[in-house]
């Protein structure tokens, strides 16, 4: 029985995103309305919306999917709310598909069950908000009101899944609204580019997840082979219906010019003595189409000479040498998430880091694997970890090499 299988629980967990940018609407791709499944009577709508989040982050795609069965008997699962108006996750609701617009019923539903859309303005110029219980209806509304070039602010949740044995990450929209244009009135009305592509994600890592010796010496980026807990229905045709330890790659930038700072940062955030550490990070997406801006050191000598001859300005040279990162798709951790906690009417800032939150056994779902399965990667990692993970000697070697050159 599935209920007797081992379950992974989680707490203090965050997995969300926010985008601010310009909508990229394609007539053939962005919206699919009232499509019929080839394998069932499922009728669905889909929105895959590109948001141009600027040169740094590129075009980020966020989606929404929803539908109903043509056979009838459709139910929307939701939860209620407490007397103080907060969501009550213990109060389970089943709402008939035909009652999804009934205000008397919707008043009993928790706020987090709704998709919020604000794409129209009142006569006074204020945004008019609509709430939908089904993504199917929210997509139809968005299809009527979102046009190419609309500046939007989007929030949602990161959804993890498996495809051909690899982790895939979707950005599921929960809130979408028109964003105000950003104009810096103190700078001759020049438009300020305030677009962004951010996320907040709780991750797990052990002593083998990252290592200072593996930092890219040119970019200062350290790769992190982390674990993210998220729902999975089944794995290799075996039912899970619970949290699954997805393997997800992240990056973190270190200032290699300051070895002491590098080691302090690594020891504080990433060094693990035992088990799995849980920590929540803020980060940003860098995806296809982003422009990679070079530093002055990256500029070829012959172009630097042209700058010295005043053929180009330094800014023009940097712009012309910028490369298009058409194949980039990264999740870059920028800083740890700080939670404000109210204790005895006193607000305290707390770093969301929990050492030894899980053991290796806690995250191992034995019913999914054969007993005699042995990973060669695990053996390699075990041998590799015998050296000091915070060893900075490779930087000394790099400095010596530069002196010789």
pLDDT at 97 over 70: yes
Q: What is the pLDDT of residue 124?
A: 87
Q: What is the pLDDT of residue 400?
A: 46
| pLDDT tens-digit readout, 263-312 | 999 999 999 999 999 999 999 999 865 556 677 777 787 887 777 877 67
pLDDT at residue 195 is higher than 70: yes
Q: What is the pTM of this model?
A: 0.81
- If you average pLDDT over residues 6-12, what whole number do you get? 94
CA distances from 26 to 23, 148, 324, 348 (A): 10, 8, 22, 47
Give the pLDDT confidence of 28-37 residue by residue, as tens digits: 889 999 999 8
Residue 300 has a pLDDT of 82
191 compared with 223, residue with greater pLDDT? 223
Check residue 302 and give its pLDDT: 80
Using the predicted structure, report yes or no on whether residue 102 has a pLDDT greater than 80: yes
- Pick the residue with more confidence: 214 or 335? 335
Report whether pLDDT(178) > 60. Answer: yes
Rounded mean pLDDT of 125-144?
A: 95
Query: How many CA within 13 A on the CB side of residue 166?
Result: 4
What confidence tens digit (pLDDT) does each residue in 334-358 have? 999 999 988 778 888 999 999 999 9
């Amino acid at each position: 029985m599935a209920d007797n299988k081992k379950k992974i629980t989680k707490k203090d967990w965050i997995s969300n995103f926010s985008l601010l940018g310009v909508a990229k609407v394609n007539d053939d791709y962005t919206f699919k309305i009232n499509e019929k499944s080839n394998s069932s009577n499922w009728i669905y709508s889909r929105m895959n919306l590109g948001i141009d989040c600027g040169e740094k982050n590129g075009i980020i795609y966020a989606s929404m999917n929803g539908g109903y069965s043509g056979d009838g008997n459709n139910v929307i699962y939701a939860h209620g709310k407490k007397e103080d108006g907060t969501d009550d996750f213990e109060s389970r609701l089943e709402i008939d598909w035909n009652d999804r617009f009934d205000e008397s019923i919707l008043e009993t539903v928790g706020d987090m069950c709704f998709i919020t859309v604000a794409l129209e303005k009142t006569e006074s110029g204020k945004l008019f908000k609509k709430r939908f219980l089904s993504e199917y209806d929210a997509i139809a509304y968005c299809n009527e009101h979102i046009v190419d070039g609309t500046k939007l602010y989007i929030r949602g949740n990161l959804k993890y899944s498996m495809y051909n044995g690899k982790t895939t990450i979707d950005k599921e929209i929960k809130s979408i609204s028109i964003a105000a244009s950003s104009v810096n009135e103190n700078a001759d009305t020049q438009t300020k580019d305030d677009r962004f592509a951010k996320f907040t994600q709780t991750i797990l890592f052990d002593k083998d997840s990252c290592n200072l010796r593996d930092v890219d010496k040119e970019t200062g980026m350290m790769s992190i082979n982390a674990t993210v807990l998220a729902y999975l229905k089944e794995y290799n045709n075996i039912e899970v219906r619970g949290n699954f330890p997805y393997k997800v790659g992240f990056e973190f930038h270190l200032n290699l010019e300051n070895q002491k700072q590098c080691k302090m940062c690594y020891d504080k955030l990433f060094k693990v003595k035992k088990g799995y550490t849980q920590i929540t990070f803020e980060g940003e997406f860098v995806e296809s189409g982003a422009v990679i801006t070079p530093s002055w050191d990256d500029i070829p000598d012959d172009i630097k000479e042209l700058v010295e001859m005043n053929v180009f300005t330094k800014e023009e040279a940097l712009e012309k040498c910028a490369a298009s990162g058409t194949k980039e798709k990264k999740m870059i951790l920028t800083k740890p998430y700080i939670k404000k906690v109210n204790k005895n009417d006193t607000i305290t800032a707390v770093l969301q880091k929990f050492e030894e939150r899980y053991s290796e056994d806690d995250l191992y779902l034995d019913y999914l694997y054969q007993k005699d399965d042995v990973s060669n990667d695990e053996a390699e990692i075990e041998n590799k970890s015998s050296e000091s993970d915070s060893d900075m000697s490779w930087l000394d070697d790099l400095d010596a090499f530069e002196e010789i050159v």
